[in-house]
Amino acid sequence: MAGHRVTPAGHDTAADSSAEVISELRRRIREHWEGFSPAARSVCRALSERSAEQLVFVSAAELGAETKTSNATVVRTVQGDGRFHPEQAITIDEALRAYTANPAFSSHEEDVKGTITPGKLADLVVLSEDIRGDDPSVLLRARVEQTYLGGRLVHSRLA
C-alpha cells in the first residue's frame, strides 16, 4: 500500500487541500451532536467505553449524507435546551481516535495507518497548540503549522 504521492508542483495544492481538511475537521468536531437523535446521543458514551472502534459509525445512517460534528463532543456542558449530557461527552483523545485509529481498524488497515508509528503511512499535520489538554476551546484556536503527506513535508508556516 502506497502513501500519497505529491510532486513539487503539487505541494501548494496539497497544502491548500490539507488546510481545507483541517478546517472541515474543526467544523465537524464543533457540530457533531446536532444531527444525532437524543437516543443516539444517549448511547455514545457507553459505546466509546465498550467499543471505541464503532464510535464514528453510531447512527450514521440516520444522519444522512451530511454527518455533522461539534465540540459538544468534547465540551461537557449541557446546552440550554438540554440536548447534551455531560456524562456522555467524549474526550478529545477519544474524538481524535474516532477519526484516525478507529477508521483504520474498521478498514483492517491498522497495521499501515491510523497512528503515528514508525513504518506506517505518514499523512499528518503539526498544530500550533496541543489540542489534547483540558481546554476544548483550543480546537477553535489551533492552526496548521505543517502538513506531511506520505511522510514528506508539503506545507510549513514555520521559519
Q: Tens digits of per-residue pLDDT, 39-92?
A: 565 556 555 555 545 445 444 444 433 333 444 455 444 445 545 566 666 778
Mean pLDDT value of segment 12-37? 61
Q: What is the pTM of this model?
A: 0.51
Q: Residue 149's beta-bridge partner residues?
A: 152
Q: What's the total number of domains in the chain?
A: 1
Residue from 24, 131, 22 nearest 68 by CA:
24
- Quick check: 108 pLDDT over 70? yes
Amino acid at 36: F
| Residue 1 within any structural domain of the chain | no
Query: Does some domain include residue 69?
Result: yes
Site of grid cell 478507529: 102
From the list 73, 71, 91, the residue with the least C-alpha distance to 139 is 71
Residue 51 resides in a domain: yes
User: b/e for 85-103, b at 16 or more Cβ within 10 A?
Assistant: beebbbebebbbbbeebbb
Residue 146 has a pLDDT of 94
* Burial 114-124, CB ≥16 within 10 A → b, else e: beeeeebbbbe
> Does the pLDDT of residue 1 top 50, yes or no?
no
Provide the domain limits for residue 13: 8-156
pLDDT of residue 155: 92
Give bridge partners of residue 71 from the DSSP assignment: 30
26 within domain boundaries: yes
Domain membership flag for residue 49 = yes
Residue with C-alpha cell 438540554? 82
Asked if residue 2 is part of any domain, the answer here is no
Average pLDDT estimate for 1-16:
50
**Mean pLDDT, residues 117-145:** 86
Instruction: Locate 140 and state its grid cell.
Output: 477553535
Of 76, 123, 64, the residue nearest 99 (C-alpha) = 123
Q: Are 75 and 118 in contact (CB under 8 A)?
A: no
Region 7-28: what's the mean pLDDT? 60
Q: Is 3 among the domain residues?
A: no
Quote the pLDDT of residue 41: 59
Which range, 2-11, 80-89, 94-103, is most confident?
94-103
